[in-house]
Amino acid sequence: MAVIEAAELRRTYRTTTGTIRRRRLDVEAVRGISFEVAEGELFGLLGPNGAGKTTTIKMLITLLVPSGGSARVLGFDVVRQAREVRRRVGYVFGGDRGVYERLSALDNLRYFAELYGVPGREQKPRIAELLELVGLTGREKERVEGYSRGMRQRLHIARGLLHDPPVVFFDEPTIGLDPVGARELRGTIASLREAGKTILLTTHYMFEADQLCDRIAVIAKGKIVAEGTPRDLKRSVADLTVLEIEAFGASAEAIERIRRAPGVTAVAVEERDHAQVLHVSSPRGTELAQQLLGELDGGTRVGRVVTREPTLEDAYVALVTEE
Amino acid sequence: MAVLRLIWAGWRFHVKSLTLSGFFLLTSSVQPILFATMAYFMFRAGSSEQSLLYVALGSGLMGIWSSTLFGSGGAISWQRWQGTLEVSIAAPAPFVLVLIPITLATATIGLYSLTATLLWGKLFFDVPFEIAHPLLFALSIPATILGLGMLGLVLAASFILYRNANALSNLLEFPVWLVTGLLVPLSLFPGWVRPISWVLAPTWGVRAIRDSALGEGAPLAAIGMCLALAACYFVIGTVLIGHFERLARERATLSLT
């Protein structure tokens, strides 16, 4: 039996525009997505900002009622059996928020242990164990407002695991962390998976999904556009080649011309110091370098130009930029 | 037992959190002192010493009401802002049991107002602090806190659903001070105000505290009314919060994003 099941899940937000003449708008954040996560699996929802990842997680952990479709966690319906779901899931999100800053980590954990129904006699050893797991032992009596972002994030993880949930949802947990902090956090997530937890992770970092996830669903504009193992997704772009162009001062118009050039399937732009690196995907065997360099404006200086094999990131870019 | 444990732990947590908030503490102690000072001068002009204690206790209760009103609404808004509202709702504990300790804690913090106004009156206006029925006075305080805290629970329900419900708290501060007799005696108001005052816990809270302190009226009956209203507010609050929590999950108003 799948631990997490989503079937044709939909969510529409109602919003308004205008100041005087206000108009109601319905925004479809999630447009009928279906997937399953097996027991002990680490499943990644990968997509750009606004793709619908957080909305999906919030429906699965009962914070949002779906506008359509259904979802079950450990067999419990997320709408009708919300309390049963809440008892069995942990929720960790990225960023600074979600903890009481004026109080200490210990105060926070004791309070949330009560909210999550951890029996009194189990609280002390459980909190000590989690502080050890996330590396906050010795700092637990300090006020959270003095914590670094990485420490807060580790406190989030401890909070999310207080009731030892079999299913844990991580919503962009490494966002804003420095590279060392992010690597430590990925290590913690990997150790939870080894401990047998079923994990759903959202991220827009390709390498993170590649490193951690057993399976990935790529989500774009509220729809799942691809699903499989990282290897499957890489295979989907095996017939492509990527041209990397290092440019200094390429205009938005020039990049748009390249994107529309015949033979180009996707373009990703990476800002690197003073340069832009354009990653241009095209079918294997096509020779586009001269043509694309011609699309750049006269004043644009061009640095390194290389052709390379596609990576998972290229597969991702190709998937999320498809119309 | 688990429910009482949760309420007790939550109450201690939120009292500690609010006490560490300089802004909340300052407003809940300075504002009532200012009002009390004005009221002392007004009453001193034409009344007896006993009236000054009457004023001091009324001003303290004004502070408890302000603290409950802003605290209950502010706590929800603040929790929404700091991202703890979603985390609390995602917990398996019924949300009403998450909220009760918060509204009780904000009412409890109002005790700083009562203490501040009584000390202020004693130090600068020679207000006599002699309690006629100490035991009833000691009972009337927690009964009032409970009554106001539960009224805060009913108000807090609206703050879950509406992000800008703080405007409501601004509207409710002065009228409740007036119609519950915290500022001036209820006998000064037209008859149609009475039924409104009867269903508001501060009316009975201030009556219980004043009557037990001044040795007048029937403080025990007022304490009973306070507790009965607290029970009614609890039932109304529980129903509203269950309903509004569901609506908030449908309308996506639990978070800022």
So what's the pLDDT on residue B13? Answer: 93
- Tell if the CB–CB gap between A64 and B249 is shorter than 8 Å: yes
pLDDT exceeds 60 at position B49: no
Please give the full DSSP string across A302-322, using - where no structure is assigned: EEEEEEE---HHHHHHHHHH-
A56-114 confidence digits (pLDDT tens): 999 999 999 999 999 999 999 999 999 999 999 999 887 778 889 899 999 999 999 99
pLDDT exceeds 80 at position A39: yes
For residue B192, being part of any structural domain is answered with yes
Q: Note whether A91 contacts B: Cβ–Cβ < 8 A.
A: yes
Do B71 and B24 contact (CB within 8 A), yes or no?
Answer: yes
If pLDDT is split at 50, 70 and 90, which confidence band does B47 have?
low
Calculate mean pLDDT across residues B117-129.
81
So what's the pLDDT on residue A10? Answer: 92
Q: What percent of chain A has pLDDT over 70?
A: 99
For residue B94, being part of any structural domain is answered with yes
- Tell if the CB–CB gap between B249 and A65 is shorter than 8 Å: yes
Tokens of A136: 């906050």
So what's the pLDDT on residue B33? Answer: 79
Tokens of A49: 């900002």
Q: Note whether A141 contacts B: Cβ–Cβ < 8 A.
A: no
Smallest CA–CA separation between A38 and chain B, in Å?
Answer: 22
Do A310 and A281 contact (CB within 8 A), yes or no?
Answer: yes
Residues A295, A215: Cα–Cα separation, whole Å: 38
Chain A residues within 8 A of B6 when measuring between CB atoms:
114-115
* Helix ranges, chain B (H): 2-19, 22-46, 49-81, 84-89, 95-109, 111-125, 134-161, 166-179, 193-198, 201-214, 219-251
Tokens of B175: 């009228």
So what's the pLDDT on residue B174? Answer: 80
For residue B203, being part of any structural domain is answered with yes
- Tell if the CB–CB gap between B82 and A101 is shorter than 8 Å: yes
Count of domains observed in chain B = 1
If pLDDT is split at 50, 70 and 90, which confidence band does B163 have?
low
Interface test with A, best of B78, B84, B251 (most A CBs within 10 A): B84
- Tell if the CB–CB gap between B82 and A100 is shorter than 8 Å: yes
Q: What is the mean pLDDT of chain B?
A: 83
pLDDT: which is higher, A170 or A312 = A170
According to DSSP, the residues that pair with A91 across neighbouring strands are: A169
For residue B256, being part of any structural domain is answered with no
Pick A114's closest partner by Cβ from B10, B89, B94.
Answer: B10
- Tell if the CB–CB gap between B6 and A98 is shorter than 8 Å: no
Q: At CB < 8 A and 24+ separation, what contacts does A144-148 make?
A: A144/A99, A144/A100, A144/A101, A144/A102, A144/A103, A144/A104, A144/A105, A144/A108, A145/A101, A145/A102, A147/A105, A148/A181
- Tell if the CB–CB gap between A117 and B92 is shorter than 8 Å: yes
For residue B257, being part of any structural domain is answered with no
Calculate mean pLDDT across residues A296-310.
84
Calculate mean pLDDT across residues A161-167.
93
Interface test with B, best of A60, A63, A106 (most B CBs within 10 A): A63
Residues A66, A30: Cα–Cα separation, whole Å: 9
Q: Note whether A62 contacts B: Cβ–Cβ < 8 A.
A: yes
Q: Note whether A32 contacts B: Cβ–Cβ < 8 A.
A: no
Calculate mean pLDDT across residues A166-195.
87
So what's the pLDDT on residue A296? Answer: 82
Q: Which residues does B contribute to its contact with A (CB < 8 Å)?
A: 2, 5-6, 9-10, 13, 16-17, 20-21, 81-84, 86-94, 98, 246, 249-252, 254-255, 257
pLDDT: which is higher, A309 or B28 = A309
Domains and CATH numbers, chain A: 4-234 (3.40.50.300), 236-321 (3.30.70.100)
pTM as predicted: 0.83
- Tell if the CB–CB gap between A63 and B2 is shorter than 8 Å: no
Among chain B residues, the shortest Cα distance to A103 is held by: B17
| Residue-range definition of the domain harbouring residue B19 | 2-251
Do B146 and B84 contact (CB within 8 A), yes or no?
Answer: no
> Which ipTM did the prediction report?
0.84
So what's the pLDDT on residue B225? Answer: 93
Element (H, E) at A184: helix A179-194
So what's the pLDDT on residue B46? Answer: 64
pLDDT exceeds 60 at position A156: yes
pLDDT exceeds 60 at position A306: yes
Chain A residues within 8 A of B254 when measuring between CB atoms:
63
Among chain B residues, the shortest Cα distance to A63 is held by: B249
So what's the pLDDT on residue B50? Answer: 55
Specify the DSSP class assigned to residue A146: G
pLDDT exceeds 90 at position A197: yes
Calculate mean pLDDT across residues A294-321.
81
So what's the pLDDT on residue B23? Answer: 77
So what's the pLDDT on residue B81? Answer: 82
Hey, what amino acid is at A207?
Answer: F
Helix (H, G, I), strand (E, B) or coil at A47: coil
For residue B230, being part of any structural domain is answered with yes
